[in-house]
Chains A and B, each alone.
Chain A
Amino acid sequence: MDQLIHAVGLDKKFGPIHAVQKVNLTVPAGEVLGFLGPNGAGKSTTMKLLTGFLEPDAGTIHIGGHSMQDQPTLAKAKIGYLPEGAPAYPDMTPSEYLDFLANVRGMQNPQVAKRRVVEQVHIGSVLHQSMETLSKGFRRRVGLAAALLHDPEVLILDEPTDGLDPNQKHEVRLLIRQLGKTKAVVLSTHILEEVEAVCSRAIIINQGLVVFDGTPAELDGKAPADLKHNRLDHVFRTITTTEIAQPGTIS
Protein backbone atom coordinates (compact mmCIF):
# COMPACT_ATOMS: atom_id res chain seq x y z
CA MET A 1 0.00 0.00 0.00
CA ASP A 2 1.57 3.28 -1.04
CA GLN A 3 -0.72 5.31 1.20
CA LEU A 4 1.11 5.63 4.50
CA ILE A 5 -1.97 6.91 6.27
CA HIS A 6 -5.22 5.29 5.26
CA ALA A 7 -8.26 6.13 7.39
CA VAL A 8 -11.80 5.34 6.36
CA GLY A 9 -15.07 6.52 7.88
CA LEU A 10 -13.66 7.83 11.17
CA ASP A 11 -16.36 8.69 13.62
CA LYS A 12 -16.03 9.81 17.23
CA LYS A 13 -18.56 11.09 19.73
CA PHE A 14 -17.93 12.50 23.20
CA GLY A 15 -21.35 12.27 24.82
CA PRO A 16 -23.61 14.58 22.83
CA ILE A 17 -20.71 16.13 20.91
CA HIS A 18 -20.05 14.63 17.52
CA ALA A 19 -16.37 15.51 17.34
CA VAL A 20 -15.44 13.68 14.14
CA GLN A 21 -17.92 12.61 11.48
CA LYS A 22 -17.19 10.12 8.71
CA VAL A 23 -13.75 11.48 7.97
CA ASN A 24 -11.76 9.71 5.27
CA LEU A 25 -8.10 10.45 4.98
CA THR A 26 -5.28 9.10 2.87
CA VAL A 27 -1.80 10.53 2.86
CA PRO A 28 1.00 9.11 0.69
CA ALA A 29 4.72 9.56 1.28
CA GLY A 30 5.91 12.94 0.05
CA GLU A 31 2.79 14.80 1.05
CA VAL A 32 2.43 17.46 3.75
CA LEU A 33 -1.19 17.74 4.71
CA GLY A 34 -2.31 20.87 6.55
CA PHE A 35 -5.22 20.44 8.90
CA LEU A 36 -7.21 23.62 9.35
CA GLY A 37 -10.32 24.52 11.22
CA PRO A 38 -11.74 26.64 14.02
CA ASN A 39 -11.04 25.72 17.64
CA GLY A 40 -13.01 22.64 18.62
CA ALA A 41 -13.56 21.61 15.00
CA GLY A 42 -12.14 18.12 15.59
CA LYS A 43 -8.55 18.57 14.40
CA SER A 44 -6.88 17.30 17.55
CA THR A 45 -9.43 14.52 17.98
CA THR A 46 -8.75 13.29 14.44
CA MET A 47 -5.02 13.28 15.20
CA LYS A 48 -5.59 11.40 18.45
CA LEU A 49 -7.54 8.80 16.48
CA LEU A 50 -4.80 8.49 13.85
CA THR A 51 -2.12 7.94 16.51
CA GLY A 52 -4.16 5.37 18.42
CA PHE A 53 -4.49 7.47 21.57
CA LEU A 54 -8.26 7.35 21.13
CA GLU A 55 -10.33 4.61 19.57
CA PRO A 56 -12.85 5.61 16.90
CA ASP A 57 -16.51 4.66 17.39
CA ALA A 58 -16.50 3.62 13.75
CA GLY A 59 -13.99 3.47 10.92
CA THR A 60 -10.60 1.92 10.32
CA ILE A 61 -7.04 3.25 10.40
CA HIS A 62 -4.03 1.77 8.66
CA ILE A 63 -0.55 3.18 9.13
CA GLY A 64 2.00 1.90 6.63
CA GLY A 65 -0.29 -1.05 5.97
CA HIS A 66 -0.72 -2.01 9.63
CA SER A 67 -4.13 -1.83 11.22
CA MET A 68 -4.27 0.39 14.31
CA GLN A 69 -6.97 -1.86 15.74
CA ASP A 70 -5.30 -5.23 15.18
CA GLN A 71 -1.57 -4.45 15.15
CA PRO A 72 -1.30 -1.32 17.28
CA THR A 73 2.37 -1.71 18.20
CA LEU A 74 3.42 -2.13 14.55
CA ALA A 75 1.28 0.79 13.44
CA LYS A 76 2.43 3.03 16.31
CA ALA A 77 6.10 2.23 15.62
CA LYS A 78 5.76 4.02 12.27
CA ILE A 79 4.39 7.23 13.75
CA GLY A 80 6.13 10.25 15.19
CA TYR A 81 3.58 12.25 17.16
CA LEU A 82 3.72 15.71 18.66
CA PRO A 83 0.63 16.00 20.88
CA GLU A 84 -1.20 19.28 21.41
CA GLY A 85 0.74 21.51 23.81
CA ALA A 86 3.88 19.35 23.50
CA PRO A 87 3.52 17.60 26.87
CA ALA A 88 6.70 16.36 28.55
CA TYR A 89 7.88 15.18 31.96
CA PRO A 90 8.81 18.31 33.93
CA ASP A 91 11.34 16.48 36.11
CA MET A 92 13.37 15.19 33.15
CA THR A 93 15.94 16.91 30.96
CA PRO A 94 15.51 16.77 27.15
CA SER A 95 18.51 14.44 27.03
CA GLU A 96 16.97 12.01 29.55
CA TYR A 97 13.62 12.24 27.81
CA LEU A 98 15.06 11.31 24.41
CA ASP A 99 17.06 8.45 25.98
CA PHE A 100 13.89 7.17 27.61
CA LEU A 101 11.96 7.21 24.33
CA ALA A 102 14.82 5.49 22.50
CA ASN A 103 14.87 2.77 25.17
CA VAL A 104 11.12 2.20 25.02
CA ARG A 105 11.29 1.99 21.23
CA GLY A 106 14.22 -0.40 21.49
CA MET A 107 16.31 1.65 19.05
CA GLN A 108 19.61 0.30 17.76
CA ASN A 109 21.74 3.44 17.65
CA PRO A 110 20.06 5.82 20.05
CA GLN A 111 23.02 8.18 20.43
CA VAL A 112 23.34 8.73 16.67
CA ALA A 113 19.62 9.38 16.36
CA LYS A 114 19.72 11.70 19.35
CA ARG A 115 22.56 13.77 17.89
CA ARG A 116 20.65 14.02 14.61
CA VAL A 117 17.41 15.34 16.10
CA VAL A 118 19.16 17.64 18.56
CA GLU A 119 20.82 19.24 15.55
CA GLN A 120 17.62 19.29 13.49
CA VAL A 121 15.62 21.26 16.05
CA HIS A 122 18.52 23.11 17.74
CA ILE A 123 18.09 22.09 21.36
CA GLY A 124 21.76 21.45 22.09
CA SER A 125 21.96 24.41 24.48
CA VAL A 126 19.19 23.13 26.78
CA LEU A 127 19.88 19.42 26.59
CA HIS A 128 20.70 19.11 30.29
CA GLN A 129 18.24 21.59 31.73
CA SER A 130 15.10 20.28 33.41
CA MET A 131 12.07 20.57 31.17
CA GLU A 132 9.99 22.62 33.61
CA THR A 133 12.49 25.47 33.27
CA LEU A 134 12.30 25.57 29.46
CA SER A 135 10.41 28.21 27.51
CA LYS A 136 7.34 27.26 25.50
CA GLY A 137 9.32 27.40 22.27
CA PHE A 138 12.04 25.08 23.52
CA ARG A 139 9.49 22.66 24.94
CA ARG A 140 7.77 22.52 21.57
CA ARG A 141 11.09 21.80 19.89
CA VAL A 142 11.87 19.03 22.39
CA GLY A 143 8.46 17.54 21.51
CA LEU A 144 9.39 17.76 17.86
CA ALA A 145 12.73 16.07 18.54
CA ALA A 146 10.86 13.30 20.38
CA ALA A 147 8.59 12.81 17.36
CA LEU A 148 11.53 12.66 14.94
CA LEU A 149 13.83 10.50 17.06
CA HIS A 150 13.07 7.13 15.45
CA ASP A 151 12.96 8.64 11.94
CA PRO A 152 9.31 7.62 11.43
CA GLU A 153 7.61 7.34 8.04
CA VAL A 154 4.56 9.15 9.33
CA LEU A 155 4.62 12.44 11.22
CA ILE A 156 1.55 13.73 13.01
CA LEU A 157 2.16 17.17 14.44
CA ASP A 158 -0.47 19.04 16.41
CA GLU A 159 0.36 22.74 16.08
CA PRO A 160 4.11 22.30 15.69
CA THR A 161 4.88 26.02 15.43
CA ASP A 162 2.64 27.25 18.22
CA GLY A 163 4.64 29.32 20.73
CA LEU A 164 7.70 29.67 18.51
CA ASP A 165 9.14 33.04 17.56
CA PRO A 166 9.17 34.04 13.86
CA ASN A 167 12.74 32.79 13.31
CA GLN A 168 12.01 29.45 14.90
CA LYS A 169 8.76 29.19 12.95
CA HIS A 170 10.67 29.68 9.75
CA GLU A 171 13.21 27.02 10.69
CA VAL A 172 10.60 24.47 11.70
CA ARG A 173 8.70 25.06 8.46
CA LEU A 174 11.83 24.47 6.44
CA LEU A 175 12.44 21.29 8.39
CA ILE A 176 8.89 20.04 7.85
CA ARG A 177 9.06 20.78 4.15
CA GLN A 178 12.30 18.88 3.88
CA LEU A 179 10.95 15.92 5.89
CA GLY A 180 7.78 16.00 3.82
CA LYS A 181 9.69 15.03 0.69
CA THR A 182 9.98 11.44 1.89
CA LYS A 183 7.45 11.11 4.70
CA ALA A 184 3.72 11.46 5.11
CA VAL A 185 3.15 14.51 7.29
CA VAL A 186 -0.06 15.71 8.86
CA LEU A 187 0.09 18.99 10.74
CA SER A 188 -2.58 21.14 12.27
CA THR A 189 -2.34 24.88 12.46
CA HIS A 190 -4.26 28.07 12.99
CA ILE A 191 -1.90 30.02 10.80
CA LEU A 192 -3.15 30.09 7.23
CA GLU A 193 0.10 31.39 5.76
CA GLU A 194 1.75 28.26 7.12
CA VAL A 195 -0.40 26.16 4.82
CA GLU A 196 0.87 28.05 1.82
CA ALA A 197 4.42 27.88 3.13
CA VAL A 198 4.72 24.16 3.84
CA CYS A 199 1.69 22.15 2.78
CA SER A 200 1.07 20.40 -0.50
CA ARG A 201 -2.53 19.79 0.46
CA ALA A 202 -5.00 21.38 2.85
CA ILE A 203 -8.07 20.10 4.61
CA ILE A 204 -10.51 22.30 6.43
CA ILE A 205 -12.57 20.62 9.09
CA ASN A 206 -15.56 22.22 10.75
CA GLN A 207 -17.80 20.70 13.42
CA GLY A 208 -16.22 17.32 12.78
CA LEU A 209 -16.84 17.38 9.02
CA VAL A 210 -14.38 17.84 6.20
CA VAL A 211 -15.57 20.94 4.33
CA PHE A 212 -12.61 21.51 2.02
CA ASP A 213 -9.94 19.28 0.55
CA GLY A 214 -7.51 20.49 -2.04
CA THR A 215 -4.23 22.21 -2.70
CA PRO A 216 -3.43 25.57 -1.10
CA ALA A 217 -3.72 27.10 -4.60
CA GLU A 218 -7.26 25.77 -4.95
CA LEU A 219 -8.07 27.21 -1.55
CA ASP A 220 -6.73 30.55 -2.67
CA GLY A 221 -8.77 30.29 -5.88
CA LYS A 222 -11.97 30.31 -3.84
CA ALA A 223 -11.40 33.90 -2.82
CA PRO A 224 -12.90 36.70 -4.94
CA ALA A 225 -10.42 37.62 -7.70
CA ASP A 226 -10.31 41.29 -6.76
CA LEU A 227 -9.43 40.62 -3.13
CA LYS A 228 -5.85 41.76 -2.54
CA HIS A 229 -5.10 40.91 1.11
CA ASN A 230 -5.91 38.12 3.52
CA ARG A 231 -7.33 35.98 0.76
CA LEU A 232 -7.03 32.71 2.69
CA ASP A 233 -8.58 34.27 5.80
CA HIS A 234 -11.53 35.26 3.68
CA VAL A 235 -11.99 31.76 2.27
CA PHE A 236 -11.52 30.19 5.71
CA ARG A 237 -14.19 32.40 7.23
CA THR A 238 -16.58 31.78 4.37
CA ILE A 239 -16.18 28.04 4.52
CA THR A 240 -16.31 27.59 8.26
CA THR A 241 -19.14 29.99 8.98
CA THR A 242 -21.58 29.78 6.10
CA GLU A 243 -21.04 26.69 4.00
CA ILE A 244 -23.35 23.85 4.91
CA ALA A 245 -21.17 20.97 5.86
CA GLN A 246 -21.46 17.76 3.90
CA PRO A 247 -19.75 14.54 4.93
CA GLY A 248 -16.83 14.67 2.57
CA THR A 249 -14.80 11.99 0.94
CA ILE A 250 -11.20 12.78 0.39
CA SER A 251 -8.61 10.89 -1.47
Chain B
Amino acid sequence: MSPCKAIFRREFASYFNTPLAGVFLVIFLLLAGIFTFQMGGFFERGQADLRPFFQFHPWLFLFLVPAIAMRLWAEERRQGTIEVLMTLPIKMRDLVVGKFLAAWAFTITALLFTTPIWWTASYLGDPDHGVILTSYIGSALMAGGYLAIGSCISALTKNQVIAFVLSVVICFIFLLSGFPMVLEFFSGWAPEFIVEAIASLSFLTHFQSLSRGVIDLRDVLYFFAVIATFLYLNGLILDWKKAA
Protein backbone atom coordinates (compact mmCIF):
# COMPACT_ATOMS: atom_id res chain seq x y z
CA MET B 1 0.00 0.00 0.00
CA SER B 2 1.39 3.40 -0.92
CA PRO B 3 1.83 5.90 1.92
CA CYS B 4 -0.70 8.23 0.29
CA LYS B 5 -3.30 5.46 0.21
CA ALA B 6 -2.62 4.58 3.86
CA ILE B 7 -3.17 8.21 4.87
CA PHE B 8 -6.34 8.31 2.76
CA ARG B 9 -7.75 5.15 4.36
CA ARG B 10 -7.16 6.31 7.92
CA GLU B 11 -8.58 9.76 7.26
CA PHE B 12 -11.66 8.44 5.46
CA ALA B 13 -12.33 5.90 8.21
CA SER B 14 -12.02 8.59 10.86
CA TYR B 15 -15.18 10.30 9.54
CA PHE B 16 -17.14 7.14 10.19
CA ASN B 17 -15.42 6.28 13.49
CA THR B 18 -16.74 9.51 14.96
CA PRO B 19 -20.28 10.95 14.98
CA LEU B 20 -19.08 13.45 12.38
CA ALA B 21 -20.19 11.44 9.37
CA GLY B 22 -23.68 10.81 10.74
CA VAL B 23 -24.27 14.37 11.87
CA PHE B 24 -22.92 15.81 8.65
CA LEU B 25 -24.92 13.54 6.37
CA VAL B 26 -28.18 14.19 8.21
CA ILE B 27 -27.71 17.97 8.26
CA PHE B 28 -26.58 18.04 4.63
CA LEU B 29 -29.53 16.00 3.38
CA LEU B 30 -31.98 17.94 5.54
CA LEU B 31 -30.77 21.31 4.31
CA ALA B 32 -30.54 20.13 0.71
CA GLY B 33 -34.14 18.91 1.03
CA ILE B 34 -35.41 22.15 2.56
CA PHE B 35 -33.69 24.25 -0.09
CA THR B 36 -34.92 22.08 -2.94
CA PHE B 37 -38.50 21.51 -1.91
CA GLN B 38 -39.40 24.56 0.21
CA MET B 39 -37.37 27.35 -1.32
CA GLY B 40 -36.69 25.95 -4.77
CA GLY B 41 -40.27 24.81 -5.37
CA PHE B 42 -39.23 21.47 -6.84
CA PHE B 43 -42.81 20.25 -7.34
CA GLU B 44 -44.54 23.57 -7.98
CA ARG B 45 -42.37 24.40 -10.98
CA GLY B 46 -43.86 21.52 -12.90
CA GLN B 47 -40.55 20.81 -14.60
CA ALA B 48 -38.64 17.57 -14.39
CA ASP B 49 -35.17 18.92 -13.68
CA LEU B 50 -32.91 19.41 -10.66
CA ARG B 51 -32.25 23.14 -10.98
CA PRO B 52 -33.88 23.92 -7.62
CA PHE B 53 -31.59 21.33 -6.08
CA PHE B 54 -28.29 22.43 -7.58
CA GLN B 55 -28.76 26.19 -7.51
CA PHE B 56 -28.34 26.25 -3.73
CA HIS B 57 -25.21 24.10 -3.64
CA PRO B 58 -22.72 26.99 -3.73
CA TRP B 59 -24.38 28.42 -0.62
CA LEU B 60 -24.91 25.13 1.15
CA PHE B 61 -21.26 24.15 0.61
CA LEU B 62 -20.08 27.54 1.78
CA PHE B 63 -20.85 26.49 5.34
CA LEU B 64 -20.81 22.73 5.26
CA VAL B 65 -17.57 22.07 3.38
CA PRO B 66 -15.37 24.26 5.63
CA ALA B 67 -16.92 22.29 8.51
CA ILE B 68 -15.38 19.14 7.06
CA ALA B 69 -12.10 20.77 6.18
CA MET B 70 -11.51 22.62 9.45
CA ARG B 71 -10.39 19.52 11.30
CA LEU B 72 -7.95 18.22 8.68
CA TRP B 73 -4.83 19.79 10.18
CA ALA B 74 -6.07 21.82 13.14
CA GLU B 75 -7.18 18.67 14.95
CA GLU B 76 -3.86 16.90 14.29
CA ARG B 77 -2.08 19.88 15.76
CA ARG B 78 -4.30 20.05 18.83
CA GLN B 79 -4.05 16.31 19.47
CA GLY B 80 -0.30 16.34 18.92
CA THR B 81 -0.64 13.58 16.34
CA ILE B 82 0.81 15.95 13.76
CA GLU B 83 4.14 15.11 15.39
CA VAL B 84 3.59 11.44 14.56
CA LEU B 85 2.54 12.22 10.98
CA MET B 86 5.34 14.64 10.18
CA THR B 87 8.06 12.36 11.49
CA LEU B 88 6.93 9.43 9.35
CA PRO B 89 9.10 8.68 6.31
CA ILE B 90 6.58 10.08 3.86
CA LYS B 91 6.61 12.93 1.38
CA MET B 92 4.66 16.06 2.24
CA ARG B 93 2.81 15.69 -1.06
CA ASP B 94 1.48 12.24 -0.12
CA LEU B 95 0.36 13.51 3.25
CA VAL B 96 -1.48 16.59 1.96
CA VAL B 97 -3.04 14.83 -1.03
CA GLY B 98 -4.04 11.74 0.98
CA LYS B 99 -5.87 13.81 3.55
CA PHE B 100 -7.50 16.02 0.95
CA LEU B 101 -8.70 13.08 -1.15
CA ALA B 102 -10.25 11.47 1.93
CA ALA B 103 -12.21 14.61 2.74
CA TRP B 104 -13.23 14.93 -0.91
CA ALA B 105 -14.33 11.31 -1.09
CA PHE B 106 -16.44 11.87 2.01
CA THR B 107 -18.08 14.94 0.45
CA ILE B 108 -18.79 13.03 -2.75
CA THR B 109 -20.32 10.24 -0.64
CA ALA B 110 -22.66 12.83 0.85
CA LEU B 111 -23.55 14.00 -2.66
CA LEU B 112 -24.32 10.43 -3.73
CA PHE B 113 -26.85 10.22 -0.91
CA THR B 114 -28.87 12.89 -2.71
CA THR B 115 -29.42 10.79 -5.83
CA PRO B 116 -32.99 9.80 -4.74
CA ILE B 117 -33.94 13.31 -5.90
CA TRP B 118 -32.70 12.30 -9.34
CA TRP B 119 -34.76 9.10 -9.24
CA THR B 120 -37.79 11.14 -8.17
CA ALA B 121 -37.43 13.50 -11.10
CA SER B 122 -37.02 10.53 -13.45
CA TYR B 123 -40.15 8.91 -12.02
CA LEU B 124 -42.24 12.06 -12.34
CA GLY B 125 -41.04 13.16 -15.72
CA ASP B 126 -38.30 12.93 -18.27
CA PRO B 127 -35.36 15.04 -17.07
CA ASP B 128 -32.23 15.71 -19.10
CA HIS B 129 -29.88 13.19 -17.51
CA GLY B 130 -26.83 14.76 -19.14
CA VAL B 131 -27.51 18.07 -17.43
CA ILE B 132 -27.98 16.36 -14.08
CA LEU B 133 -24.76 14.42 -14.48
CA THR B 134 -22.69 17.49 -15.36
CA SER B 135 -24.34 19.32 -12.47
CA TYR B 136 -23.20 16.60 -10.10
CA ILE B 137 -19.70 16.78 -11.56
CA GLY B 138 -19.71 20.57 -11.17
CA SER B 139 -20.96 20.25 -7.62
CA ALA B 140 -18.25 17.74 -6.71
CA LEU B 141 -15.55 19.90 -8.30
CA MET B 142 -16.79 22.98 -6.47
CA ALA B 143 -16.77 21.06 -3.18
CA GLY B 144 -13.15 20.08 -3.97
CA GLY B 145 -12.25 23.74 -4.43
CA TYR B 146 -13.85 24.69 -1.11
CA LEU B 147 -12.13 21.75 0.59
CA ALA B 148 -8.67 22.68 -0.70
CA ILE B 149 -9.12 26.21 0.64
CA GLY B 150 -10.35 24.85 3.97
CA SER B 151 -7.50 22.35 4.23
CA CYS B 152 -4.93 25.06 3.55
CA ILE B 153 -6.43 27.36 6.22
CA SER B 154 -6.67 24.48 8.68
CA ALA B 155 -2.90 24.02 8.47
CA LEU B 156 -2.44 27.52 9.87
CA THR B 157 -3.97 26.98 13.28
CA LYS B 158 -4.77 24.43 15.95
CA ASN B 159 -8.07 26.14 16.60
CA GLN B 160 -10.84 24.57 14.52
CA VAL B 161 -13.23 27.49 15.03
CA ILE B 162 -10.69 29.93 13.62
CA ALA B 163 -10.03 27.56 10.73
CA PHE B 164 -13.77 27.34 10.02
CA VAL B 165 -14.47 31.08 10.13
CA LEU B 166 -11.46 32.01 8.00
CA SER B 167 -12.28 29.32 5.45
CA VAL B 168 -15.89 30.48 5.15
CA VAL B 169 -14.73 34.06 4.57
CA ILE B 170 -12.22 33.10 1.89
CA CYS B 171 -14.64 30.73 0.18
CA PHE B 172 -17.24 33.51 0.32
CA ILE B 173 -14.85 35.88 -1.48
CA PHE B 174 -14.28 33.27 -4.18
CA LEU B 175 -18.01 32.73 -4.50
CA LEU B 176 -18.95 36.40 -4.43
CA SER B 177 -16.58 37.47 -7.17
CA GLY B 178 -19.01 36.09 -9.74
CA PHE B 179 -22.12 37.56 -8.21
CA PRO B 180 -23.96 40.04 -10.51
CA MET B 181 -23.95 42.70 -7.79
CA VAL B 182 -20.18 42.59 -7.48
CA LEU B 183 -19.62 42.46 -11.23
CA GLU B 184 -21.98 45.40 -11.81
CA PHE B 185 -20.03 47.38 -9.26
CA PHE B 186 -16.89 46.89 -11.33
CA SER B 187 -18.46 47.03 -14.77
CA GLY B 188 -19.41 50.68 -14.31
CA TRP B 189 -15.83 51.89 -14.51
CA ALA B 190 -13.35 49.01 -14.83
CA PRO B 191 -12.24 47.79 -18.25
CA GLU B 192 -14.06 44.77 -19.60
CA PHE B 193 -11.12 42.37 -19.18
CA ILE B 194 -10.86 43.11 -15.46
CA VAL B 195 -14.54 42.43 -14.97
CA GLU B 196 -14.09 39.18 -16.88
CA ALA B 197 -11.03 38.27 -14.86
CA ILE B 198 -12.91 38.76 -11.61
CA ALA B 199 -15.85 36.78 -12.89
CA SER B 200 -13.57 34.00 -14.11
CA LEU B 201 -12.16 33.59 -10.59
CA SER B 202 -15.57 32.81 -9.20
CA PHE B 203 -16.78 29.39 -8.18
CA LEU B 204 -20.28 30.51 -9.10
CA THR B 205 -19.54 31.28 -12.74
CA HIS B 206 -17.81 27.97 -13.37
CA PHE B 207 -20.34 25.96 -11.42
CA GLN B 208 -23.26 27.53 -13.26
CA SER B 209 -21.76 26.82 -16.65
CA LEU B 210 -21.24 23.18 -15.68
CA SER B 211 -24.76 22.91 -14.29
CA ARG B 212 -26.17 24.04 -17.63
CA GLY B 213 -25.06 20.71 -19.02
CA VAL B 214 -21.91 21.75 -20.82
CA ILE B 215 -18.60 20.26 -19.79
CA ASP B 216 -16.21 22.98 -20.77
CA LEU B 217 -12.62 21.97 -20.20
CA ARG B 218 -11.86 25.46 -18.89
CA ASP B 219 -14.34 25.07 -16.03
CA VAL B 220 -12.95 21.68 -15.06
CA LEU B 221 -9.37 22.96 -15.29
CA TYR B 222 -10.32 25.99 -13.24
CA PHE B 223 -11.42 23.86 -10.29
CA PHE B 224 -8.39 21.60 -10.56
CA ALA B 225 -6.16 24.67 -10.66
CA VAL B 226 -7.80 26.03 -7.50
CA ILE B 227 -7.37 22.65 -5.78
CA ALA B 228 -3.72 22.30 -6.86
CA THR B 229 -2.87 25.87 -5.85
CA PHE B 230 -4.34 25.62 -2.38
CA LEU B 231 -2.90 22.18 -1.70
CA TYR B 232 0.50 23.47 -2.75
CA LEU B 233 0.07 26.38 -0.34
CA ASN B 234 -1.05 23.87 2.28
CA GLY B 235 2.28 22.05 1.97
CA LEU B 236 4.22 25.31 2.09
CA ILE B 237 2.41 26.32 5.29
CA LEU B 238 3.27 22.99 6.93
CA ASP B 239 6.91 23.39 5.89
CA TRP B 240 6.95 26.93 7.13
CA LYS B 241 5.55 25.87 10.51
CA LYS B 242 8.45 23.43 10.85
CA ALA B 243 10.94 26.23 10.51
CA ALA B 244 8.99 28.82 12.51
How many chain A residues touch B (CB < 8 A): the figure is 32
Q: How far is the CB of B13 from chain A (nearest CB, A)?
A: 8
Q: How far is the CB of A184 from chain B (nearest CB, A)?
A: 16
Question: Contacts A91-B14, A92-B17, A103-B9 hold; do A54 and B88 have CB atoms under 8 A apart?
Answer: no
Say yes or no: B89 contacts A83, CB within 8 Å: no
CA distance A77 to B13 in the complex (A): 25
CA distance A79 to B87 in the complex (A): 8
CA distance A111 to B13 in the complex (A): 20
CA distance A90 to B81 in the complex (A): 10
Q: Which of A30-38, A45-53, A216-224 contacts B (4 or more CB under 8 A)?
A: A45-53
Q: How far is the CB of A103 from chain B (nearest CB, A)?
A: 4
Q: How far is the CB of A217 from chain B (nearest CB, A)?
A: 33
Contact with B along A96-139 (1 / 0, CB 8 A): 10001101111000000000000000000000000000000000
Within B63-93, which residues are at the interface with A (CB < 8 Å)?
79-81, 83-84, 86-91
Question: Contacts A73-B89, A73-B91, A100-B6 hold; do A55 and B80 have CB atoms under 8 A apart?
Answer: no
Question: Contacts A88-B81, A103-B1, A104-B6 hold; do A55 and B242 have CB atoms under 8 A apart?
Answer: yes
CA distance A193 to B82 in the complex (A): 32
CA distance A83 to B83 in the complex (A): 7
CA distance A96 to B170 in the complex (A): 36
Residue of A nearest to B17 (CB): A91
A172 at interface, CB cutoff 8 A: no
A85 at interface, CB cutoff 8 A: yes
Residue of B nearest to A104 (CB): B6
Taking CB atoms, residues of chain B closer than 8 Å to A84 are 80
CA distance A104 to B87 in the complex (A): 11
CA distance A57 to B14 in the complex (A): 35
Can you list the 10 inter-chain pairs with the closest CB atoms, starting with the nearest?
A87-B80, A103-B6, A77-B89, A91-B17, A76-B89, A83-B83, A55-B243, A73-B89, A104-B6, A51-B87
